[in-house]
Structure 1
């Protein structure tokens, strides 16, 4: 049915329920400190498992299709930030300062992994290239995203990201990722056989971070200081941002002469943003501003759902044009 493709998935509904729970029953005091410790451990486990999941061959294969991967990385880490800055007048006019900073944060994040691959497959694109591009984007983003966030916030006149924040990202995200990848020779088969475990860790970590972030934000008066009109405008700005990027990156892929299968991989890998990486990064980078973290991650939550709905429609259109059998789409929490 036409309306089913726009139906929120179960994880999105759970995410909304978590926001409601944090709004009604926020954790405070000692309970908040306990949740913080659990969340830090879950984030480390998440990136350890992601490192264990990435095959060494995927890194080696990345060198072979370098034009495609550079195009995806340019879309993710250049095109998005440029559009985010271009939307500044609109952001100032329609959004609260925290929500617009959240939009800029979205622009600095790496691409998704699972859903980029799933939509590329549905559309009949180059799946192997999508696997490598999405994985490379997340690996590079661990280091590049904090630097980009610092540049974007500085251009906005907001508080910058210190080198301490970059070091924390390396220690809390990159180190577990590298250790997980080094451990792949011993645990790789187990991780490959138990992929739902990684999905559960992805989603559980996001829910923990969202609950603790929104709890702190609610205590600081998030909903008192954020009008409903600003939330609706955030939805509109995120939709405009996604539309601009998808249209532009498809035009770039065609201008550069990529074949259709490669164009599909570029469009889906280069136009999406990872919530699984983004929310843990936000927690670390904005650790000194937890009162405002809820508003900062709201645009990411909105953008995440939008990209899933829009990409589901675009993937089916690509598939119909190319006579490719449409597979069931996967709405992963990345």
Structure 2
């Protein structure tokens, strides 16, 4: 049984993915739980939780690890340009086909996915399994998360100002500074004093992150279900969205592979480029949605693309990483199961 659980977890089928689906189902069955403000507002709990998550992220951000990955600058450019430029440029031209239709919110959610930073933990894990450049992976994953705090809102401001009359860039940036930037900055300043404590307890802190994410997902979908925001969408729409996310991942992965070959990257750098450059962070996508979208009723729909993409990227990247390790003759934990 433990072997079965370990194998499932390696393919992204862990308790957290099941919990995410359960939160959506719970929101459908009991939407009032995420809307009611008595005896406690889960929405407020999630809002404060966002700041705590970013504080501990800053606390664990090690300047030494970042400096260790500075040498391969071409690799860093490929990863960051893929994450923040390539993805949005692939999605933004499609807006014309969805504008004014029922699927416009799904396009907006997909563009939000495209504007997000790369995921940290799973990118590093996949690079490790496949035998890639670990210092560069840690550097790119960490820097991507930091850049995303500023770049993601800038990208979203380009589309939200025209899709939502409630979007106030000055107000959003103010909330971003208070809830995200200041906690990260405070965490970085206190890294020398408390960074060791945060690193020692990172597993427990990760559980806290996940609980806050589940709370945000639940309250967001409660708002959407209560306002009947999904009435125009069918199961077929979800399958089409899933297929679109698969195409998006495959396209980006293929383009980064081609660019890496053109730049004559060695095997380790190619692995790091494709895994760090093709991933998107569910953590950042969920918690930043609390800040970026003033209309809480549409957040549930906005989060659908990143949730589907997250599951697919874990599944596909796990298969590719293990295949790459076997091809190179590496002895990994994945090979032992």
TM-score, normalised with respect to structure 2: 0.90
Q: CA RMSD in A?
A: 2.2
Match of 1:295 among 296, 301, 310: 301
How far apart, CA to CA, are the structure 2 residues paired with 1:97 and 1:316? 37
* Structure 2: runs of 5 or more not aligned: none
Q: The residue matched to 1:111 in structure 2 has which SS?
A: coil
Contact 2:69 2:138 in 1 (8 A): no
Matched, 1:151 2:158: yes
1:73-129 alpha-carbon deviations (Å, 9 max, x no partner): 000001101111244466569971111110010000000000000000000100111
Structure 2 match to 1:273: 280
Note the C-alpha offset of 1:182: 1.1
Q: Aligned equivalents of 1:94 and 1:6: distance in 2?
A: 35
Structure 1 equivalent of residue 116 of structure 2: 109
Q: Which moved more, 1:182-191 or 1:212-221?
A: 182-191
The one of 308, 311, 328 equivalent to 2:314 is 308
- Match for 2:16 among 11, 14, 17? 11
Aligned to 1:332: none
TM-score (structure 1 length as normaliser): 0.91
Cα 1:324–1:163 change in 2 (3 A) is: farther
1:204 counterpart (211, 227, 245): 211
1:191 aligns with: 198
Give the Cα–Cα distance (whole angstroms) in 2 for the partners of residues 67 and 170 of structure 1: 31
Distance 2:216 2:150 in 1: 20
Equivalent position of 1:23 in the other structure: 28
| Bigger mean CA offset, 196-205 vs 54-63 | 54-63
Does residue 1:320 correspond to 2:326, yes or no? yes
Cα-to-partner distance string for 1:274-320 (whole Å, 9 max, x where unaligned): 0111111111100x211111000011111110100010011112112
- What is the deviation of 1:218? 0.8
**Which of 67, 76, 97 is equivalent to 2:74?**
67
The alpha carbon displacement at 1:198 in A equals 2.3
CA contact (8 A) 1:161 1:285 kept: no
> For structure 1, which runs of at least 5 residues remain unmatched after alignment?
330-334
Change (3 A) 1:319 1:94: farther
Give the CA deviation at 1:153: 4.5
CA contact (8 A) 1:81 1:152 kept: no
Distance 1:204 1:180 in 2: 20
CA 1:161–1:310: 2 relative to 1, 3 Å: farther
Would the alpha carbon gap of residues 221 and 142 (structure 1) be closer, same or farther in structure 2, given more than 3 Å must change?
same
Partner of 1:54: 61
Q: Find the aligned partners of 2:243 and 2:141 in 1 and give their Cα distance.
A: 26
Measure how far apart 1:32 and its partner are: 9.2
Give secondary structure in 2 for the equivalent of 1:284.
helix
Deviation at 1:147, TM superposition (A): 0.2
Question: How far apart, in 1, do the equivalents of 2:61 and 2:322 lie?
Answer: 28
**What's the CA shift for 1:36?**
1.7
CA contact (8 A) 1:22 1:214 kept: yes
Answer yes or no: is 1:171 the counterpart of 2:178: yes
Provide Cα deviations, 1:174-195, integer angstroms capped at 9, x if missing partner: 1111111111122111111112
